[in-house]
């Protein structure tokens, strides 16, 4: 948090290296969130870059009330919602999506991890967007239910319900496969 404030201060004074540091710090997590919500790695990269271009443009007038991380996550989620609204985004078929990277050197293990990731991605794609968004924000972004509720402007009990029902649907979908 203090590091973020220091970097924001440097960025406001025109230090472009501070923007690079912020980008490098958050890009992987933000890209994972965008990809989980869009199911299209290319569109997720576009969203990530759009968010950072917008962030760089408004940083001079930006007044954060919370953490920079939560601000960037909310920006990603809002941009994903815009993509769905504007383009009536169609999900990419799983065999069209790019390969899932694995941290494993063993090809057999990588194949298993890749298959499990494809199954989970396909199951997530079948959830209603509000449940999918809540699950992704909680598990991938590490946000607490209270933070998600504040970001979405809904009661915490609604967030908890979306999470619980979403996980139940995921279990059902994954058992059927």
Q: What is the pLDDT of residue 165?
A: 94
How far is the C-alpha of 13 from the C-alpha of 83, rounded, in Å? Answer: 32
If one compares 94 and 114, the residue with the highest pLDDT of the two is 114
**85 shares a domain with 20:** yes
Quick check: is 156 in a domain? yes
Say yes or no to pLDDT of 95 above 70: no
**5 shares a domain with 62:** yes
For 8-47, what is each residue's pLDDT tens digit? 888 888 888 888 999 999 999 999 999 888 888 898 999 9
Q: What is the pLDDT of residue 72?
A: 92
How far is the C-alpha of 1 from the C-alpha of 152, rounded, in Å? Answer: 22
The tokens for 38 are: 């869009």
Last-in-domain residue among 93, 127, 158: 93
Which residues, 6 or more positions from 72, have their beta carbon under 8 angstroms from its beta carbon? 26, 30, 51, 55
Q: What is the pLDDT of residue 114?
A: 66
Domain that holds residue 76: 1-93
Last-in-domain residue among 37, 62, 93: 93
């Amino acid at each position: 948090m203090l590091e973020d404030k220091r970097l924001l201060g440097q960025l406001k004074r025109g230090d472009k290296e501070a923007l690079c540091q912020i980008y490098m710090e958050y890009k992987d997590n933000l890209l994972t969130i965008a990809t989980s919500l869009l199911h299209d790695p290319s569109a997720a990269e576009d969203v990530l870059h759009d968010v950072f271009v917008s962030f760089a443009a408004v940083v001079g007038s930006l007044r954060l009330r919370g953490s920079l991380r939560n601000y960037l996550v909310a920006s990603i989620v809002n941009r994903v919602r815009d993509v769905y609204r504007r383009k009536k985004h169609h999900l990419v078929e799983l065999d069209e999506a790019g390969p899932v990277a694995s941290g494993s050197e063993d090809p057999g293990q990588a194949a298993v991890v890749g298959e499990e990731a494809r199954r989970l991605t396909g199951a997530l794609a079948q959830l209603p967007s509000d449940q999918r968004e809540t699950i992704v924000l909680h598990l991938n972004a590490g946000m607490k239910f209270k933070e998600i509720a504040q970001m979405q402007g809904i009661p915490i009990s609604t967030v908890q319900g979306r999470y619980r029902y979403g996980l139940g649907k995921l279990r059902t979908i994954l058992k059927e496969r």
